[in-house]
Structures are given as structure tokens and as C-alpha cells.
Chains A and B, each alone.
Chain A
Amino acid sequence: MESIVQALAGIVGKPYVSASAEERYFYGRDPGLMPAHAPDYVVLPRSVEEIQAIVRLAGREKIPLVPMGAGMSLSGLVIPQRGGIVLDMKRMDGILKVNEAARYAVVEGGTSTGKLHAHLNRYYPRLRFSTPDSPAAATVAANVMIHGQGRLTQQQGFNSDMVSGLEVVLPSGELCRIGSCALSDDWFSKGPPLPDLSGLFLGWFGATGILTKVGIKLYPRKKMRDVEIFITDSPDFVPGILYELTHTEMAEDINIFAQPLPLIFSGNHHIVIYFTGDSAEEMEFKKRTLFHALDGFIKSKDGGFMTVGEGMKKTLLDMPQRSATTFADVTKGGGFEYSGPIVPIDRYPQCSRKLDELAVKYDLKYHATARIIDKGHAMMFAFSFTFNRADADMLNRTRMALSEASEYALSIGGLFWKPTLDEQRIALEKMDPQTARLMKRIKEELDPQGIMNPGNWEGI
């Protein structure tokens, strides 16, 4: 053990390696609900070469290696299930380039979403990326690795759809570029018109390689941004409302929330519609179009636009939006976890009713949130619960509620998002066996020793 610490220190320098109990305790868990498991070592590299050396060392010694961003994905994906090394990417936080004309940025594998957001705000006020609502420490690489969603997901798809190139350290220690950057230093496409190899890495949770650079597409940032909320008293109307709204192609982002507390929100479904523009005329045109799209629902009294006061507007327009983080501590005791399957938008009513049922069955505080993906092809529906970490019974009830929610979502045609190990297993079992075999062959080919984030997407 001592020799591994020394070998790692030889690669990254002594201050950036630890095998101390405190560090191992801390790196053995995430803020979600999965059982902890401590790593043997924690290492914080600063360069691609250091990562290559660490991967080679891990391969030689057959030590598991778990890459980690901010550890905020909540479903245990950074918990080293079989010990080994946690590779904390936070020191790799550079913004390597921004190509303003071609609208993309290239960042290192540990650069936080907050840092990229601040950098663009400051130096490129006409550009933006699809900021997720996770705490600002969450990293760009991890967010695309888990197919995250952000402010532009309604328009552009999953955040991983907005990747424009990757640099990956393979489990062999070799360095590989994916997309246009494999042929030149231009990072405008992650694949097309070449075979798109990004699928060998995105969604694999580090089990097939470590992202050291990510090209991410940037989009026009308009001068003005506003928000309206359409409310309806039945989940059955929600898919139709979404269909009309997305048809206009006027919204930036569309989210939904429904929660029993505070009372003002009780019993209604709130469809939060963001829109942007460069002038008052453009804003008014978009607003009018969005309102008119829902005239039918207003006439039949099935829904209406609520008044959004200044305070609420400010909270909603915040980026990232902090209300999710505030909700996370409603039940004092700091526990927050959600199951956020990706489901077709017509399943909203079923998911909403299931959540009500689970909250009663397990006696938990809850809220539903959803984010529309790619103009309505699908939505992320979050079954969210808060809990008190000091209350073992509540913890257990939350676990059961979450697992029931996930299974339910799968049973109605949904897919797990950032699945836990158990959920990955269930998905592999349900999958077309030929697809599961292909995944297994990919994993075995890239990581024959099975050292990369072991447990994840291991074939059955």
C-alpha cells in the first residue's frame, strides 16, 4: 500500500495523494443515498500525462480507478465499489479555448460548469452553454458523461448531444481524440461525418476511459430573458400543453414542477416557460405566440398563466437555479435524492400520479420536476424526496420509494437516467440481449482488466 502511495506521489507530487482515513471517508460517499465504500487512495492529477501514468500504474497493479468530478450525480457513480483509486479531476480545470465564430469551447476534464459559465459571462457575453441546475462545482465532463440536461436542452437535446469533441485516456493509458479534433485542432464535431465514436465513452460513467478534454458547443446568448408560468389542475392536460408550446419553437427551456408545499403550489402543475430575445419586440412576439398557443386551454378553463411576482421571477431566472438546492434541505438533515428517468412526454400523468402514491405510501416530502428534452421527444421526470440523514427509518423509506419509482418508470417505457448499479443491472436485463452483448464486448475490448469504475455497465 505504501508503495502505491509513493508511486502516485511520484506522478502527481506528495500533496496531491492521500490514503489517510479522513480523506478515504470523504471520498467513499456522495450526497445521495447509496451505501458508502471507501477508496484506498485519492489522487488529484494536474495533467494528461499524469493521468496516463496513473492509469498505467492502475493497470499494472490491477487497482480499480474511479474518476470523479464534483461527486454530485447522487446515484453512487463515484463511490469506489471495489476500493482502489479515486481520481479527483478538480485540478484539471482549465478553459483551453473558445472559438467564438464556430461557437464552441474546449475545457479540461475537471473544469466546473460554474467556471465555464463565469468565463463566458465575462469574456464572451454573446455566448452561452447549456448550464445544468446542479451546484456550480459540477463538472462539464461529468455532466456530459451522465447525459445531463441544462438550460438549452429543450432546444438542443441532452447536454451530451452538444459535445463537439473529446480527448480520452483509454484504460490502456493511450491518449485518443474523438471527432473533428482527431484530424485537426478544430473541435466542431464529435463525430459526423465520421463514425461517431463518442458513444464509446459518453454514458459509460468512466468505465471505458477518462475524459481529459471536452469540446462543448456554445449557443447565442440573447440580451433578454423572461419567464412565464402556465398552471393546470390536472396532469392529464400537461402533455397537450407541452405539445402546443414546443410547436411554437419559441421557448428556451421548459420545466414543470408540482409539489404540495407551500400551499400556493398545492394541487396544480406549473409549466415554467423561459424565452429569450434581443429586443423588446422579439420578446413580446415570443410571449404572444406562447400565450396564443395555449388559448384553447385557457378558453376551456383547463389552465391559465399565473402572475409571477418579482421575487419569484428573480429566483427562476437565476442560472443555475438555486431553488432545487433550497428544496434539498426542506426536511432538515440535508438529504436530497431523486430518481429522474427519461420518459416520453405523454407519460407525465402516470409519473405524476405514481409520485403522489409513493409520497403517501412512504410518508415522505416530495416534489415533481420535469425538464423537456429536444422539443418534446422526451422529458426527465424527477421523483424527488428530501430526508433527514440522521433518521434511519426515513432513509430506508426514501430508498424504497426511489427504487419503486425507477422500476415503475421502466415499466411504462422510460429509461433510467444516471442509474445506480442496481438500475444498470435491471436495464441490462431488460435490454435486447444482442445490445447487452455488444455493450459487454465494448467494455471488455476497451478495459479487459475491468479496472475502470468497476461495477458500472458490467455485462451480464
Chain B
Amino acid sequence: MYQLKFDEKRCLACPDGACLVQCQYLKYEADPARKEMVKIFRGEDSPVLQDCVTCYACEEYCKRGNHPFYLINERRENKGILTAPRAITRQWIHIGEPKGKYELGRIGKIALSFGFMPQLKEITKGRLFDDVMPSYFFGQEFFCNVVYIHFANTKVFKERLPVVIENIHKLGVEEVVFLHDECYAAFTSLAPAYGMEVPFKSVHYFEYLYNRLTALKDLIRPLNVKVVYQRPCSNRLCGDSHLFVRKIMDRIGATLVQRTYQDETALCCGSIFRAMYGYDLMADVQGRNLEDMAQSGAEYCIFNCHGCMNALSPLVAARGMTPLHLIDLCRMAIGETPEGGR
């Protein structure tokens, strides 16, 4: 069985305990933070195991190559500490179960992965994708199964992820552009953390978009709009890709306005909190986030994840901002009229 790579010595020598000190939901000073992580590593009880709300952020806060959230997850599972109601976990496990209903485009050396997000098929249209489409794959057979870490359930992805890696490998692709950053994170963070080998190159779609916009720069008409960006939890597992958001916005002439809850202090969309903890946490996080967006004077709220988009679009719209997927905004910049931009 796959074992998480976690180096206790790094925690013991950690100068800042950044994982828990920066956590937006728990309150820790550096010293207790470090100690708590060591306790957790050693399998001792810790309030963190009860109180962590699975925002994934400490995976990004730890700059010392450890995996604090994956560790919390492992220990919770061992101790039978549930994060989500059992029915919610069961439903999600069913959602990701392969059913032989996958879809393949004309697969080339490079392919787009839609994971198991049907909405992604709808937005990958136009010039931005015409050098790779229709090389794509979609379906539970290619779904990363990372979401189960919200539910302290590592068994599912340990079982399913190697099969997914094999499924993709069998397609004969050399490079995969992931449109769902949880999928990208599965192959660049989770799989390596558990010692799973990934025999293809993983590219985040932000990087792909940035390169395409560069290639198509003659078509770009600067948008001159102010935007805020809703960063999803899953992007914390692949923080390297986040840098591209600003670069893309610069390229298309959109201003990413300064606000409190962005980059490392981004707030969750609330949808997973709602399912796992009920109203109050969801309402608190959404309320602060939306107020912050509204204060910033942005015209658009740009999304990367359709889960966030589903949860926040009506609320964003009620505050006078237009909710839009990042791809749609890029398409607008090259003179296209995407569905969501109308």
C-alpha cells in the first residue's frame, strides 16, 4: 500500500510552523504549531484532527516540502475521525465510481483532460484550444479522485488513482493539459507524495492558456476591466500554477484588483463547508469573501473551478459583478463571444 512521505525532522527544525500559523480556521503560534504537527506525525491525538476544516491551504503554506494536510488526513482516517457526514462521503464515492461511460476525442501526443467535469467540455472552444482539440478525454475513468481527501478518505484515491494513471498512460499521450486543477494536483502533488509514478507530463491549463495567448497575441484587444479571482481549495495543492493568473490577466489587459482574500489568504467558496459543517461556517466565509469582492470595485468575478462557480455565481451576480470562467474571459480578449460572456 502507498505510504505518505513525511519527514518529521523538517517539522522539528521548522522555523515558523507556517502550516498552522497561517491557517485561517485554527489559531496557533509557531511553537505549538510545530509541536502539534510532530504529535500528529507520531499518531498522538491532536485538536487539529477535530478542528481542521479541510481547506487544503497548509499544503501551500508549508515551504519545507512536507505535506501537513495529507498527514492530517491519514491520521484522521486511522483514528476513524469523520469530517463529512457519512451520507455525503458515500454519495461522492459513488459519483467518482468508473462506469465505463468515458469519452475520448481524437487523442494525439498532447491531450486535454476534462476529468469528470462535464462543464469543461463546454468551455474549451475557439482559437485558444484549436491546436490541441479534439484531443481530449473525459469520464470517471480519468477522474483524479482527490476530492476524497476532504472526507479523510485516502483509501479511495489509493485504490483508484493508480488505475487512472494507467488509463491515461494507455492512451499513449506524452503530455496532458489538465483543465481541473485538482486533477493536475493529483499527478504533481498527491501521486508523488505517495510514491506513485506518473509516466506522462502534466501541464496546468493556466500555463497552457498563457502560452496560447502569447502565440495569439496579435488577436488580443485589452479588456480594460477590473476583476477579482476566486481561488479554489484545490489550487492550494498546486500553488506553482497560481502565478499564471496574474500573468494571464496582464496579457489580456484585465486588472486583478487588490483585495484581502486573495493569493495565500484566499477563502473557500463554501460549498464543501456547507456539506460538511452546515450553515454557519459557509455563511461566514461566503459573507466575508463576497463583501471583500464587492468592496474591491471589480466588474467581473473570475472562476477556475465549476464547484466554486456553482456555489458563488448567484451571490456574486446579486452584488453586481459578472461571474465568468477564466477561459471565457480569455476568449473575450481574443474577440470571441463565449456562452458565459453574453
Do A and B truly interact? Answer: yes
**Which residues on the B side are within 8 Å of A301 (C-beta)?**
82, 84-86
Known interface pairs A264-B95, A280-B318, A303-B85; A294-B278 also in contact (CB < 8 Å): yes
Known interface pairs A298-B85, A302-B86, A304-B85; A291-B279 also in contact (CB < 8 Å): yes
Q: Could you jot down 19 A-B contacts, CB within 8 Å?
A: A231-B87, A231-B91, A232-B87, A263-B94, A264-B94, A266-B94, A268-B90, A287-B279, A292-B278, A292-B279, A295-B278, A298-B85, A298-B276, A302-B85, A304-B87, A305-B274, A306-B87, A306-B91, A310-B310
Q: Smallest CB–CB gap between A25 and chain B, Å?
A: 41
Q: Smallest CB–CB gap between A386 and chain B, Å?
A: 21
Report B155-176 CB contacts with A as 1/0, cut-off 8 Å.
0000000000000000000000
Q: Which of B83-106 contact A (CB under 8 A)?
A: 84-88, 90-91, 94-95, 97, 99
CB of B82 within 8 A of CB of A267, answer no
- List 10 extra interface pairs beyond A232-B85, A303-B87, A304-B278, CB under 8 A: A265-B91, A266-B94, A268-B87, A292-B279, A302-B85, A304-B88, A305-B274, A307-B271, A307-B275, A307-B307
Taken together as a complex, chains A and B put the C-alpha atoms of A334 and B107 apart, in Å, by 41
**Which residues on the A side are within 8 Å of B82 (C-beta)?**
301
Taken together as a complex, chains A and B put the C-alpha atoms of A304 and B87 apart, in Å, by 7
CB of B275 within 8 A of CB of A306, answer yes
**Which residues on the B side are within 8 Å of A302 (C-beta)?**
85-86
CB of B94 within 8 A of CB of A304, answer no
| B123 beta carbon closer than 8 Å to chain A | no
**Which residues on the A side are within 8 Å of B6 (C-beta)?**
none
Taken together as a complex, chains A and B put the C-alpha atoms of A93 and B318 apart, in Å, by 43
Report B302-334 CB contacts with A as 1/0, cut-off 8 Å.
000001001100000010000000000000000
Taken together as a complex, chains A and B put the C-alpha atoms of A301 and B310 apart, in Å, by 24
Taken together as a complex, chains A and B put the C-alpha atoms of A294 and B274 apart, in Å, by 12
Report A170-213 CB contacts with B as 1/0, cut-off 8 Å.
00000000000000000000000000000000000000000000
Taken together as a complex, chains A and B put the C-alpha atoms of A310 and B310 apart, in Å, by 8
| B283 beta carbon closer than 8 Å to chain A | yes
**Which residues on the B side are within 8 Å of A263 (C-beta)?**
94, 97, 99
Q: Which of B99, B274, B279, B283 has the most CB of A within 10 A?
A: B279
Known interface pairs A263-B94, A264-B91, A268-B91; A304-B276 also in contact (CB < 8 Å): yes
Taken together as a complex, chains A and B put the C-alpha atoms of A306 and B310 apart, in Å, by 13
CB of B279 within 8 A of CB of A309, answer no
Taken together as a complex, chains A and B put the C-alpha atoms of A3 and B70 apart, in Å, by 86
CB of A267 within 8 A of CB of B99, answer no
B282: nearest chain-A partner, CB-CB: A291
CB of B90 within 8 A of CB of A267, answer yes
- Chain B at the A interface: mostly helix, strand, loop or mixed? helix
**Which residues on the A side are within 8 Å of B41 (C-beta)?**
none
Taken together as a complex, chains A and B put the C-alpha atoms of A329 and B156 apart, in Å, by 34
**Which residues on the A side are within 8 Å of B97 (C-beta)?**
263
**Which residues on the A side are within 8 Å of B90 (C-beta)?**
233, 266-268
Q: How large is the interface on A (under 10, 10 to 19, 20 to 34, 35 or more residues)?
A: 20 to 34
Known interface pairs A292-B279, A309-B310; A304-B84 also in contact (CB < 8 Å): yes
| A288 beta carbon closer than 8 Å to chain B | yes
**Which residues on the B side are within 8 Å of A269 (C-beta)?**
87
What are the 8 A-B residue pairs with the smallest beta carbon separation, nearest first?
A304-B85, A291-B279, A231-B87, A233-B87, A304-B88, A298-B278, A263-B94, A301-B82
Taken together as a complex, chains A and B put the C-alpha atoms of A303 and B310 apart, in Å, by 22
Q: Smallest CB–CB gap between A217 and chain B, Å?
A: 33
Q: How large is the interface on B (under 10, 10 to 19, 20 to 34, 35 or more residues)?
A: 20 to 34
Q: Which of B72-126 contact A (CB under 8 A)?
A: 82, 84-88, 90-91, 94-95, 97, 99
Taken together as a complex, chains A and B put the C-alpha atoms of A263 and B100 apart, in Å, by 13
**Which residues on the B side are within 8 Å of A303 (C-beta)?**
85, 87
**Which residues on the B side are within 8 Å of A306 (C-beta)?**
87-88, 91, 275
Q: Which of A273-318 contact B (CB under 8 A)?
A: 280, 287-288, 291-292, 294-295, 297-298, 301-307, 309-310
| B208 beta carbon closer than 8 Å to chain A | no
Q: Smallest CB–CB gap between B275 and chain A, Å?
A: 5
**Which residues on the A side are within 8 Å of B28 (C-beta)?**
none
Q: Smallest CB–CB gap between A20 and chain B, Å?
A: 48
Known interface pairs A266-B94, A267-B90; A298-B283 also in contact (CB < 8 Å): no
Taken together as a complex, chains A and B put the C-alpha atoms of A291 and B318 apart, in Å, by 22
B276: nearest chain-A partner, CB-CB: A304
Taken together as a complex, chains A and B put the C-alpha atoms of A389 and B85 apart, in Å, by 41
B277 contact from A231, A264, A298, Cβ within 8 A: A298
CB of A305 within 8 A of CB of B278, answer yes
**Which residues on the A side are within 8 Å of B311 (C-beta)?**
307
Taken together as a complex, chains A and B put the C-alpha atoms of A306 and B89 apart, in Å, by 10
Taken together as a complex, chains A and B put the C-alpha atoms of A450 and B307 apart, in Å, by 63
Taken together as a complex, chains A and B put the C-alpha atoms of A301 and B91 apart, in Å, by 14
Taken together as a complex, chains A and B put the C-alpha atoms of A429 and B310 apart, in Å, by 55
Q: Which of A244-276 contact B (CB under 8 A)?
A: 263-269
**Which residues on the A side are within 8 Å of B85 (C-beta)?**
231-233, 297-298, 301-304
